Protein backbone atom coordinates (compact mmCIF):
# COMPACT_ATOMS: atom_id res chain seq x y z
CA UNK A 1 0.00 0.00 0.00
CA UNK A 2 1.82 3.07 -1.26
CA UNK A 3 -0.34 5.51 0.70
CA UNK A 4 -0.99 4.43 4.27
CA UNK A 5 -4.57 5.71 4.08
CA UNK A 6 -5.36 4.40 0.58
CA UNK A 7 -7.90 1.58 0.87
CA UNK A 8 -8.57 1.05 -2.83
CA UNK A 9 -7.13 -2.49 -2.70
CA UNK A 10 -9.78 -3.66 -0.20
CA UNK A 11 -12.97 -5.52 -1.23
CA UNK A 12 -15.99 -3.30 -1.89
CA UNK A 13 -17.76 -4.14 1.39
CA UNK A 14 -14.63 -3.26 3.37
CA UNK A 15 -14.26 0.06 1.52
CA UNK A 16 -17.90 0.89 2.21
CA UNK A 17 -17.43 0.01 5.88
CA UNK A 18 -14.31 2.19 6.18
CA UNK A 19 -16.05 5.09 4.44
CA UNK A 20 -18.97 4.68 6.86
CA UNK A 21 -16.62 4.80 9.83
CA UNK A 22 -14.81 7.91 8.63
CA UNK A 23 -17.61 9.79 6.88
CA UNK A 24 -20.65 8.96 9.00
CA UNK A 25 -19.23 8.04 12.40
CA UNK A 26 -16.39 10.55 12.13
CA UNK A 27 -13.66 8.15 13.24
CA UNK A 28 -10.07 9.38 13.00
CA UNK A 29 -7.75 8.36 10.15
CA UNK A 30 -5.69 6.21 12.51
CA UNK A 31 -8.76 4.40 13.86
CA UNK A 32 -9.96 3.66 10.32
CA UNK A 33 -6.49 2.46 9.37
CA UNK A 34 -6.52 0.06 12.33
CA UNK A 35 -9.87 -1.32 11.09
CA UNK A 36 -8.30 -1.76 7.65
CA UNK A 37 -5.26 -3.55 9.04
CA UNK A 38 -7.29 -5.93 11.25
CA UNK A 39 -9.65 -6.81 8.38
CA UNK A 40 -6.64 -7.42 6.12
CA UNK A 41 -5.24 -9.86 8.72
CA UNK A 42 -8.64 -11.58 8.96
CA UNK A 43 -8.95 -11.82 5.15
CA UNK A 44 -5.52 -13.40 4.86
CA UNK A 45 -6.55 -15.96 7.48
CA UNK A 46 -9.75 -16.74 5.55
CA UNK A 47 -7.87 -17.13 2.26
CA UNK A 48 -5.42 -19.57 3.86
CA UNK A 49 -8.17 -21.66 5.46
CA UNK A 50 -11.07 -21.47 2.98
CA UNK A 51 -8.99 -21.37 -0.19
CA UNK A 52 -6.07 -23.37 1.08
CA UNK A 53 -5.30 -25.05 -2.24
CA UNK A 54 -4.14 -21.68 -3.61
CA UNK A 55 -2.97 -19.70 -0.59
CA UNK A 56 -1.78 -22.18 2.06
CA UNK A 57 1.86 -22.07 0.97
CA UNK A 58 1.99 -18.32 0.27
CA UNK A 59 3.55 -16.08 2.93
CA UNK A 60 1.12 -13.72 4.64
CA UNK A 61 2.85 -10.56 3.45
CA UNK A 62 2.55 -11.76 -0.14
CA UNK A 63 -1.24 -12.09 0.10
CA UNK A 64 -2.86 -8.82 -0.91
CA UNK A 65 -6.22 -7.46 0.18
CA UNK A 66 -7.29 -7.48 -3.46
CA UNK A 67 -7.01 -11.29 -3.37
CA UNK A 68 -10.06 -11.34 -1.08
CA UNK A 69 -13.59 -10.56 -2.21
CA UNK A 70 -17.03 -9.85 -0.77
CA UNK A 71 -18.13 -13.46 -1.15
CA UNK A 72 -15.28 -14.60 1.10
CA UNK A 73 -16.26 -12.13 3.82
CA UNK A 74 -20.01 -12.72 3.87
CA UNK A 75 -19.76 -16.51 4.06
CA UNK A 76 -18.19 -16.47 7.51
CA UNK A 77 -19.46 -18.60 10.37
CA UNK A 78 -19.19 -18.48 14.14
CA UNK A 79 -16.57 -21.24 13.92
CA UNK A 80 -14.45 -19.13 11.54
CA UNK A 81 -14.35 -16.34 14.12
CA UNK A 82 -13.41 -18.78 16.89
CA UNK A 83 -10.62 -20.24 14.75
CA UNK A 84 -9.32 -16.78 13.85
CA UNK A 85 -9.17 -15.74 17.52
CA UNK A 86 -7.29 -18.95 18.29
CA UNK A 87 -4.94 -18.20 15.38
CA UNK A 88 -4.36 -14.68 16.74
CA UNK A 89 -3.43 -16.11 20.13
CA UNK A 90 -1.24 -19.04 19.03
CA UNK A 91 0.30 -18.15 15.67
CA UNK A 92 0.32 -14.35 15.84
CA UNK A 93 1.02 -14.49 19.59
CA UNK A 94 -1.30 -11.54 20.17
CA UNK A 95 -1.83 -10.57 23.79
CA UNK A 96 -5.36 -10.29 25.21
CA UNK A 97 -5.54 -6.57 24.46
CA UNK A 98 -4.68 -7.06 20.77
CA UNK A 99 -7.11 -9.97 20.41
CA UNK A 100 -9.87 -7.92 22.02
CA UNK A 101 -9.22 -5.13 19.49
CA UNK A 102 -9.42 -7.57 16.58
CA UNK A 103 -12.70 -8.99 17.85
CA UNK A 104 -14.07 -5.48 18.36
CA UNK A 105 -13.21 -4.69 14.74
CA UNK A 106 -14.96 -7.83 13.46
CA UNK A 107 -18.04 -7.11 15.60
CA UNK A 108 -18.24 -3.61 14.18
CA UNK A 109 -17.75 -4.85 10.61
CA UNK A 110 -20.38 -7.59 10.81
CA UNK A 111 -22.82 -5.33 12.62
CA UNK A 112 -22.47 -2.98 9.65
CA UNK A 113 -23.13 -5.87 7.22
CA UNK A 114 -26.11 -7.29 9.15
CA UNK A 115 -27.77 -4.21 10.64
CA UNK A 116 -26.72 -1.16 8.63
CA UNK A 117 -26.67 -2.36 5.02
CA UNK A 118 -28.34 -5.76 5.61
CA UNK A 119 -26.30 -7.90 3.20
CA UNK A 120 -26.10 -10.69 5.80
CA UNK A 121 -28.75 -12.20 8.07
CA UNK A 122 -26.66 -13.72 10.85
CA UNK A 123 -23.81 -12.04 12.70
CA UNK A 124 -20.94 -14.57 13.00
CA UNK A 125 -19.42 -12.67 15.95
CA UNK A 126 -22.49 -13.18 18.12
CA UNK A 127 -21.92 -14.95 21.47
CA UNK A 128 -18.13 -14.72 21.19
CA UNK A 129 -16.55 -13.23 24.30
CA UNK A 130 -13.42 -11.13 24.14
CA UNK A 131 -10.32 -12.26 25.98
CA UNK A 132 -10.07 -10.60 29.35
CA UNK A 133 -7.65 -7.70 29.12
CA UNK A 134 -4.77 -7.52 31.54
CA UNK A 135 -5.18 -4.54 33.81
CA UNK A 136 -2.04 -2.45 33.56
CA UNK A 137 -1.29 0.75 35.37
CA UNK A 138 -0.04 3.44 32.99
CA UNK A 139 3.66 4.28 33.04
CA UNK A 140 4.47 7.83 34.06
CA UNK A 141 7.27 10.06 35.28
CA UNK A 142 7.38 11.03 38.92
CA UNK A 143 7.21 14.70 39.87
CA UNK A 144 10.97 14.84 40.38
CA UNK A 145 11.65 13.04 37.09
CA UNK A 146 9.35 15.49 35.30
CA UNK A 147 11.28 18.42 36.77
CA UNK A 148 14.57 16.78 35.74
CA UNK A 149 13.34 16.38 32.15
CA UNK A 150 12.24 20.00 31.89
CA UNK A 151 15.40 21.37 33.50
CA UNK A 152 17.66 19.42 31.14
CA UNK A 153 16.19 20.68 27.85
CA UNK A 154 18.96 22.27 25.79
CA UNK A 155 20.11 22.65 22.21
CA UNK A 156 19.47 24.72 19.11
CA UNK A 157 15.69 24.42 19.42
CA UNK A 158 15.55 24.46 23.22
CA UNK A 159 12.72 27.02 23.49
CA UNK A 160 10.53 25.05 21.11
CA UNK A 161 11.25 21.71 22.73
CA UNK A 162 10.79 23.12 26.22
CA UNK A 163 7.38 24.53 25.22
CA UNK A 164 6.37 21.17 23.71
CA UNK A 165 7.34 19.19 26.81
CA UNK A 166 5.72 21.78 29.07
CA UNK A 167 2.41 21.45 27.21
CA UNK A 168 2.58 17.66 27.36
CA UNK A 169 3.27 17.59 31.10
CA UNK A 170 0.80 20.33 32.05
CA UNK A 171 -2.07 19.78 29.63
CA UNK A 172 -1.97 16.06 28.85
CA UNK A 173 -2.20 16.61 25.09
CA UNK A 174 -2.06 13.82 22.55
CA UNK A 175 0.87 14.14 20.16
CA UNK A 176 -1.47 14.58 17.18
CA UNK A 177 -3.26 17.38 19.02
CA UNK A 178 0.01 19.18 19.75
CA UNK A 179 1.24 18.91 16.15
CA UNK A 180 -2.07 20.27 14.90
CA UNK A 181 -2.01 23.48 16.96
CA UNK A 182 -2.20 26.69 14.92
CA UNK A 183 -1.18 30.15 16.12
CA UNK A 184 -4.79 31.30 16.16
CA UNK A 185 -5.80 28.34 18.34
CA UNK A 186 -4.22 30.17 21.29
CA UNK A 187 -6.17 33.02 22.86
CA UNK A 188 -4.52 36.46 22.71
CA UNK A 189 -3.96 36.48 26.48
CA UNK A 190 -2.49 32.93 26.36
CA UNK A 191 -5.13 31.71 28.81
CA UNK A 192 -6.68 28.98 26.64
CA UNK A 193 -5.82 26.69 23.77
CA UNK A 194 -8.24 25.02 21.36
CA UNK A 195 -7.29 21.54 20.14
CA UNK A 196 -8.90 19.02 17.81
CA UNK A 197 -8.99 15.61 19.48
CA UNK A 198 -10.15 12.14 18.51
CA UNK A 199 -13.09 12.05 16.17
CA UNK A 200 -12.35 15.66 15.17
CA UNK A 201 -13.87 16.82 18.45
CA UNK A 202 -12.86 20.28 19.55
CA UNK A 203 -12.07 21.08 23.18
CA UNK A 204 -10.69 24.00 25.13
CA UNK A 205 -7.56 23.55 27.21
CA UNK A 206 -6.73 26.04 29.95
CA UNK A 207 -3.10 27.13 30.18
CA UNK A 208 -1.26 27.72 33.44
CA UNK A 209 1.66 30.09 34.11
CA UNK A 210 4.26 27.50 33.12
CA UNK A 211 2.60 27.04 29.71
CA UNK A 212 2.22 30.78 29.15
CA UNK A 213 5.86 31.48 30.01
CA UNK A 214 7.10 28.66 27.78
CA UNK A 215 4.93 29.79 24.85
CA UNK A 216 6.03 33.42 25.17
CA UNK A 217 9.69 32.39 25.14
CA UNK A 218 9.18 30.10 22.13
CA UNK A 219 7.18 32.57 20.04
CA UNK A 220 10.04 35.07 20.29
CA UNK A 221 12.38 32.66 18.50
CA UNK A 222 9.89 30.76 16.30
CA UNK A 223 11.41 30.20 12.86
CA UNK A 224 10.53 32.69 10.15
CA UNK A 225 10.04 32.08 6.44
CA UNK A 226 7.76 29.13 7.12
CA UNK A 227 6.43 27.27 4.08
CA UNK A 228 3.17 28.78 2.89
CA UNK A 229 1.03 25.74 3.69
CA UNK A 230 2.21 25.74 7.32
CA UNK A 231 2.67 29.43 8.05
CA UNK A 232 -0.04 29.30 10.75
CA UNK A 233 1.37 26.22 12.51
CA UNK A 234 2.56 26.85 16.07
CA UNK A 235 5.42 24.39 16.19
CA UNK A 236 7.81 24.49 13.26
CA UNK A 237 10.49 21.96 12.31
CA UNK A 238 13.98 22.85 11.16
CA UNK A 239 12.70 22.34 7.58
CA UNK A 240 10.35 25.27 8.17
CA UNK A 241 7.13 23.30 7.99
CA UNK A 242 4.65 22.04 10.61
CA UNK A 243 6.40 19.73 13.03
CA UNK A 244 5.45 16.08 12.47
CA UNK A 245 4.42 13.40 14.94
CA UNK A 246 7.60 11.46 14.15
CA UNK A 247 9.79 14.50 14.85
CA UNK A 248 8.08 15.11 18.19
CA UNK A 249 8.50 11.45 19.14
CA UNK A 250 12.18 11.62 18.25
CA UNK A 251 12.87 14.80 20.20
CA UNK A 252 11.10 13.44 23.30
CA UNK A 253 13.27 10.30 23.21
CA UNK A 254 16.32 12.53 22.72
CA UNK A 255 15.58 14.72 25.73
CA UNK A 256 14.64 11.76 27.92
CA UNK A 257 18.00 10.17 27.16
CA UNK A 258 19.88 13.41 27.78
CA UNK A 259 18.09 13.77 31.12
CA UNK A 260 19.21 10.28 32.13
CA UNK A 261 15.64 8.97 31.95
CA UNK A 262 15.94 6.89 28.79
CA UNK A 263 15.97 3.61 30.72
CA UNK A 264 12.42 4.16 32.02
CA UNK A 265 10.74 3.14 28.77
CA UNK A 266 8.91 6.43 28.41
CA UNK A 267 7.30 7.71 25.22
CA UNK A 268 5.36 10.77 24.11
CA UNK A 269 2.09 9.19 25.21
CA UNK A 270 3.59 8.41 28.62
CA UNK A 271 3.98 12.18 29.12
CA UNK A 272 0.20 12.42 28.74
CA UNK A 273 -0.09 9.72 31.41
CA UNK A 274 2.28 11.74 33.56
CA UNK A 275 0.21 14.92 33.27
CA UNK A 276 -2.96 13.05 34.26
CA UNK A 277 -1.27 11.34 37.19
CA UNK A 278 0.30 14.54 38.51
CA UNK A 279 -3.00 16.43 38.28
CA UNK A 280 -4.81 13.65 40.12
CA UNK A 281 -2.22 12.84 42.78
CA UNK A 282 -0.88 16.33 43.49
CA UNK A 283 -3.65 18.65 42.35
CA UNK A 284 -6.54 16.63 43.69
CA UNK A 285 -8.29 17.01 40.32
CA UNK A 286 -11.71 15.34 40.24
CA UNK A 287 -11.77 12.41 37.83
CA UNK A 288 -14.73 13.93 35.95
CA UNK A 289 -12.76 17.14 35.40
CA UNK A 290 -9.74 15.07 34.35
CA UNK A 291 -11.95 13.31 31.78
CA UNK A 292 -12.74 16.65 30.11
CA UNK A 293 -9.13 17.86 30.28
CA UNK A 294 -7.90 14.72 28.51
CA UNK A 295 -10.75 14.64 26.00
CA UNK A 296 -11.98 11.16 26.93
CA UNK A 297 -15.43 10.06 25.84
CA UNK A 298 -15.91 7.57 28.67
CA UNK A 299 -15.19 8.07 32.36
CA UNK A 300 -13.93 4.47 32.54
CA UNK A 301 -11.02 5.45 30.27
CA UNK A 302 -9.99 8.18 32.70
CA UNK A 303 -10.30 6.02 35.80
CA UNK A 304 -7.10 4.15 34.96
CA UNK A 305 -5.27 7.28 36.14
CA UNK A 306 -6.92 7.17 39.55
CA UNK A 307 -4.51 4.49 40.75
CA UNK A 308 -3.17 5.18 44.21
CA UNK A 309 0.45 6.31 44.27
CA UNK A 310 2.97 4.47 46.46
CA UNK A 311 3.50 7.68 48.41
CA UNK A 312 -0.20 7.94 49.18
CA UNK A 313 -0.20 4.34 50.37
CA UNK A 314 2.74 5.12 52.63
CA UNK A 315 1.07 8.31 53.86
CA UNK A 316 -2.11 6.38 54.62
CA UNK A 317 -0.17 3.87 56.69
CA UNK A 318 1.61 6.66 58.56
CA UNK A 319 -1.64 8.50 59.22
CA UNK A 320 -2.92 5.68 61.40
CA UNK A 321 -3.07 7.03 64.99
CA UNK A 322 -1.15 3.96 66.10
CA UNK A 323 1.66 4.58 63.59
CA UNK A 324 3.99 6.04 66.22
CA UNK A 325 3.74 2.82 68.18
CA UNK A 326 2.89 2.10 71.81
CA UNK A 327 5.56 1.21 74.31
CA UNK A 328 4.98 -2.22 75.74
CA UNK A 329 5.09 -2.24 79.53
CA UNK A 330 3.54 -5.63 80.08
CA UNK A 331 0.48 -6.57 82.05
CA UNK A 332 0.22 -5.53 85.71
CA UNK A 333 1.26 -8.45 87.86
CA UNK A 334 -1.63 -10.09 89.69
CA UNK A 335 -0.74 -11.60 93.05
CA UNK A 336 -2.27 -14.97 93.69
CA UNK A 337 -3.53 -15.60 97.23
CA UNK A 338 -1.86 -19.00 97.34
CA UNK A 339 1.48 -17.35 96.54
CA UNK A 340 1.08 -15.07 99.52
CA UNK A 341 0.50 -18.04 101.80
CA UNK A 342 3.73 -19.64 100.67
CA UNK A 343 5.94 -16.63 101.39
Catalytic center residues:
174, 198, 269, 272, 296, 305
**What angle is formed at CA 258 by the lines to CA 277 and CA 262, rounded to 5 degrees?**
55
Taking alpha carbons only, the member of 143, 272, 287, 119 closest to residue 195 is: 272
DSSP string, 173-204: --HHHHHT-BGGGB-TTSSEEEEE-GGG-EEE
On whether the CB atoms of residues 161 and 255 are closer than 8 A, the answer is yes
Tally of CA atoms within 13 A in the half-sphere of 160 that contains its CB: 21
192: phi then psi, degrees, rounded to nearest 5? -140, 160
Quick one: residue 309, left, alpha or beta (phi over 0 = left, psi -120 to 50 = alpha)?
Answer: beta
Query: Helix H segments across the chain?
Result: 12-19, 29-50, 52-55, 70-74, 78-90, 96-111, 143-152, 158-171, 175-179, 209-221, 245-258, 268-281, 287-294, 299-302, 310-318, 337-342
**What angle is formed at CA 151 by the lines to CA 149 and CA 153, rounded to 5 degrees?**
75
Taking alpha carbons only, the member of 281, 280, 282 closest to residue 294 is: 280
On whether the CB atoms of residues 261 and 141 are closer than 8 A, the answer is yes
Quick one: residue 315, left, alpha or beta (phi over 0 = left, psi -120 to 50 = alpha)?
Answer: alpha
> Whole-angstrom Cα distance, residue 298 to residue 199?
14
Burial 172-206 (b: 16+ CB within 10 A, else e): bbbbbbbbbbeeebbeeebeebebbbbeeeeeebe
Amino acid sequence: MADRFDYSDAPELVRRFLNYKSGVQNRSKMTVYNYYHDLLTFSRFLLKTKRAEKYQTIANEEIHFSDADDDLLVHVTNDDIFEFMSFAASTLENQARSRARKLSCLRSFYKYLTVTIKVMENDPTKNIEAAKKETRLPKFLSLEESKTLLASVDGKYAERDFAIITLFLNCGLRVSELCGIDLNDISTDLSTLTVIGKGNKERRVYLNDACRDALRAYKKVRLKDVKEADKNALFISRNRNRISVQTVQWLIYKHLNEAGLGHLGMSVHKLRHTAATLMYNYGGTDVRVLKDILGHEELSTTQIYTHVSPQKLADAANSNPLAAGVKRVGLPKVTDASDDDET
